[in-house]
A and B are shown apart, each in its own frame.
Chain A
Amino acid sequence: MRGLRRWFIAFVVLLLGRKKRPPRFADRPRIVPPGEPDPRAEWLVLGLLLAAAAAAVGFIVAYSFDHLPHQTQYLGLALGLAFAFVAAALVVVGKRLVVTEELEEDYPLPGHPTAQEELEQLVAESGDRFTRKRLLVGGAGAAAGAIGAALVVPALSLGPLLDTGALYETPWRRGVRLVDEHGKPLLLDEIETETFYTAYAKGADKELLGSPLVAVRFEPSQLHLPAGRGDWAPEGVVAYSKICTHAGCAIALFRKPTFPVVEPGPALICPCHYSTFDPTKGGNVVFGPAGRALPQLPLYVDAKGELRAAGNFSGPVGPSWSGVRSKAPRNPS
């Protein structure tokens, strides 16, 4: 409370304590013609700057909601208004508060000592009409601070700063069924070669980054999986995380050569930046900006012929973060 009161008193003093300081260059002949103070324009500028700050704060508020209808439109409106108010404030300053002058000659060039002083005098005299300089500077600071904050706040969504534990969690553990988008279990016999399937973890939220898979079937002889993954692909069915390890887009392209002898080999490709992964070799990167192989999910087939996970992914799912290789994925506790 005391802090608030202090701020209030400081604000009132700032408002009332305006006085005309003697101009710095009073002893010299004026270069810029004197201008009448224009308090109404000053209030207008202050109001516009505060409106800009309010709009920017509105952006932060709109951003902080998780599921706001028309959120993108509100965000654009708030940021656009903030900039528009700042622009309007600058227009008012330029049109009504800065003393305009008509000069026959060019401004003195900077560099020469007297010329330098003349320039300073020019600037000082142009600001003659301001009577509440500190208040306006405060208003400009508030607007700049709020807009700066609005521009920085979305960076918080890039991820937790310290605790990355949640990023390692996936719903896959031994025995979890692979289901399609309608919740129907994927049967081994229904998986055909030369095409690709999207699957999810049964019972898990499809929106979880760790849930969606892309499954492809090959002839077992085509597969050259890394050591230790020999039994991960029952009858040649391999499953990888559908989330690209570069920027987190969905792997929506499957390159299936009709005749591999003369055509580029099979690949899973992310359409966003064309990261290309080789599904026959454990999802390693063959092209593009991705830095890590696609995480592979070990599979087995149960007695009913349904595909199930035989464990968790070979690596963390989704775009990389600092220390991504340090831990293995795990299940939420």
Chain B
Amino acid sequence: MRRVLAFAALALWVPSAAAAQPGLGVKSKSGKELYAAYCLSCHGVDGSGISSTAHPPGVLDLKGLGPPLRGVGALSADFYLTTGYMPLADPHDQPLRTKSPFDKQEIAAVVKYVASLGHGPPVPTPHPDRGDVSRGLSLFTEHCAGCHQIVAEGGYVTNAIAPPLHEATAVQIAEAVRVGPYLMPRFPTSQISDAQLDSIVAYVQYAKHPDDRGGWSIGRIGPVPEGLVSWLLAGVALVGCCLAIGRRHQR
């Protein structure tokens, strides 16, 4: 009986959950309409944001859903949309890289609309070719590797994931540094200049396919797997030694 009830509840819940996905079935290409369909429920009318004190509260009567978007500019909107971080199904989740439901023109339209809400920075144009990989490594070590790990394989901060940067494009890297998405700190030009940013972008691009001078990369995630492999090799060598110096007991 209980199982039947559970199935019935599931059957009822699934379509309602699908219906809660914002903006499904919207065919419009206009930025404002796409914003209304996909973003407005959390970021409020005209990007005014919905904070814990906002009235009326956002969808599902959740208190506080999305930050205001006035003045974030094309830079921030472009980052969140091209990475697929937004639209986000559950505002309590950490946005992670997914395939965006929008195509390129739709993204451009929404970015243009969000940029029109207030004065904000434009989409940056990094020049990794002007950067220096070696300088980038030292800057990356100083500012980024604490969370993203030295070859940008990603890592953890308490309560969040620092994503790997394999798929990040040059523009997205430059944007993320200035935006500080989710829990990442923001790095203004006083902290990391545009020239330094070029070097960091050059390094992250390099780190996608580094030449592994040690031979095996072993996932490039640090000493633990490397240690495991060395123990495995050392174990085999030790067994070899045993065979060489010992003799099998004859029964």
Taking Cβ atoms with an 8 Å cutoff, the residues of A that contact B are 91, 94-95, 190, 192, 194-197, 252-259, 261-264, 267, 269, 271, 274, 276, 286-288
Measured between beta carbons, the chain B residues less than 8 angstroms from A194 are 180, 185-186
Question: Are A288 and B158 in contact (CB-based, < 8 A)?
Answer: yes
Closest-by-CB residue of A relative to B190 is A190
Question: Are B183 and A264 in contact (CB-based, < 8 A)?
Answer: yes
Q: Which of B2-10, B12-20, B61-69, B119-127 lines the interface with chain A?
A: B61-69
Question: Which of the residues A196, A261, A264, A287 comes within 8 Å of B185, measured between beta carbons?
Answer: A196
27 contacts between A and B (CB under 8 A): A91-B245, A192-B186, A194-B180, A194-B186, A195-B186, A195-B187, A195-B191, A252-B146, A253-B146, A255-B157, A255-B158, A256-B185, A257-B182, A257-B183, A258-B181, A259-B64, A259-B66, A263-B160, A263-B182, A264-B158, A267-B157, A271-B146, A271-B155, A274-B157, A276-B158, A287-B158, A288-B158
Measured between beta carbons, the chain A residues less than 8 angstroms from B64 are 259, 261-262
Question: Are B156 and A274 in contact (CB-based, < 8 A)?
Answer: yes
Residue B209 at the chain A interface, CB threshold 8 Å: no
Shortest CB–CB separation between residue B41 and chain A, in angstroms? Answer: 13
- Report, nearest first, the 10 A-B pairs whose CB atoms are least far apart: A261-B64, A252-B146, A264-B159, A259-B67, A194-B186, A256-B185, A276-B158, A255-B183, A195-B185, A254-B185
Residue B188 at the chain A interface, CB threshold 8 Å: yes
Measured between beta carbons, the chain B residues less than 8 angstroms from A190 are 190
Number of A-B contacts (CB under 8 A): 75
In the assembled complex, the Cα of A81 lies from the Cα of B39 at a distance in Å of 66
Question: Are A263 and B158 in contact (CB-based, < 8 A)?
Answer: no
Question: Are B67 and A94 in contact (CB-based, < 8 A)?
Answer: no
In the assembled complex, the Cα of A269 lies from the Cα of B160 at a distance in Å of 12
Measured between beta carbons, the chain A residues less than 8 angstroms from B182 are 257-258, 263
Shortest CB–CB separation between residue A189 and chain B, in angstroms? Answer: 10
Measured between beta carbons, the chain B residues less than 8 angstroms from A286 are 158
Residue B248 at the chain A interface, CB threshold 8 Å: no
Question: Which of the residues B66, B67, B157, B187 comes within 8 Å of A269, measured between beta carbons?
Answer: B157
Question: Are B159 and A262 in contact (CB-based, < 8 A)?
Answer: no
Residue B170 at the chain A interface, CB threshold 8 Å: no
